[in-house]
Amino acid sequence: MEILNELNERKRRDIDDFLSFIGIYEDTKREKALKKLLHKEKKYIKGKTCVEAGAGSGIFSIYMAELGAKKVYAVEESKTIFKLLKKNVENFKNIIPINKRIEEFEPDEEIDFLFHEFYGSLLFDESIFSLYELRFKPKRIAPDGGRLWCMFIRDEEILEKDKIYRREWKEILKGALVLDLFPWVKFRNDKKIIGWNYKKDIKKEFIIELKEKADFIGFASEIVHDEESVLKTWEAKNWAIVFTPKVSDKFRLKFSYKGGYTEVKFVWI
């Protein structure tokens, strides 16, 4: 969903926040998968002090309260989304909505469990790095891992399905990571290119070698916890797949945490 008309920066940001918010909440596959994960983690939630980092509508904060959490801090940075969050959790006495970036949240008690859904289409391009900037140390974080997958696409496949595609697009789009360029693509997780585990070291720069023949490559992420798959995001409704023409056999992908957002640099080498 995009805004068509000219708006001042502040208003545009508010509406963008709101639109991304309603976009993910009609995604029942995502909701089910993450609730299933929380249910599995029940023993770390029941009777415990929990945090939801980036609480959005609060559906998962509410679910943690229903699983018996003693207290849930629902931390959300966006002012616009926070207004809706506050309303949604007002009947839950043990959910405390906090309008802050998670990096600035300083609870004065021990946090047993932190839940987040900070995954981007390129795994690290949303807010995963925020988890390394916390001012408190949760005893357990979930989900605690992820994978970035790549798919190889040949011109023949595109030409067969896409009436407007021309081979010249590859030159025009060279070096650009484009969200949902081919909306008809059914993602195949041909090759895992990045694995992330919270307990191990996090890397922000990757040199990826792909010798496979392809005209375009597609990227999509997977949510993982305790080394088990939680959600293949390409099977959920509103998660974008990222496409780019395959220009050579090697590229550099670099993520820089900018204290509120993550910048992505991508270069073929």
Ligand X SMILES: C[S@@+](CC[C@H](N)C(=O)[O-])C[C@H]1O[C@@H](n2cnc3c(N)ncnc32)[C@H](O)[C@@H]1O
Q: CA 72: distance to chain centroid?
A: 21
Q: Which is nearer to ligand X, 53 or 217 (CB)?
A: 53
- Which residue sits closest to ligand X, CB atoms considered? 54
Closest distance of CB 251 from ligand X, Å: 26
Q: Which is nearer to ligand X, 136 or 268 (CB)?
A: 136
Closest distance of CB 261 from ligand X, Å: 8
CA dist., res. 64 & res. 60, Å (int) = 6
CB-facing half-sphere around the CA of 3: CA atoms within 13 A: 15
**Burial annotation 181-190 (CB, 10 A radius, 16+ → b, else e):** bbeebebeeb
The site for ligand X (CB under 6 A) is made up of 21, 24, 52-57, 59-60, 75-78, 81, 101-103, 117, 127, 130
Q: Which is nearer to ligand X, 216 or 262 (CB)?
A: 262
Q: Which is nearer to ligand X, 104 or 160 (CB)?
A: 104
Closest distance of CB 194 from ligand X, Å: 19
Closest distance of CB 142 from ligand X, Å: 12
Closest distance of CB 100 from ligand X, Å: 7
CA dist., res. 193 & res. 204, Å (int) = 13
Q: Which is nearer to ligand X, 35 or 188 (CB)?
A: 35
* Cβ atoms of 130 and 202 closer than 8 Å: no
* Cβ atoms of 94 and 122 closer than 8 Å: no
Closest CA to 214 of 124, 150, 166: 150
CA dist., res. 22 & res. 57, Å (int) = 9
Element (H, E) at 229: strand 228-232
Structure tokens at 195: 């694995």
Closest distance of CB 241 from ligand X, Å: 16
Q: Which is nearer to ligand X, 61 or 245 (CB)?
A: 61
To which residue do tokens 């990045």 refer?
A: 194
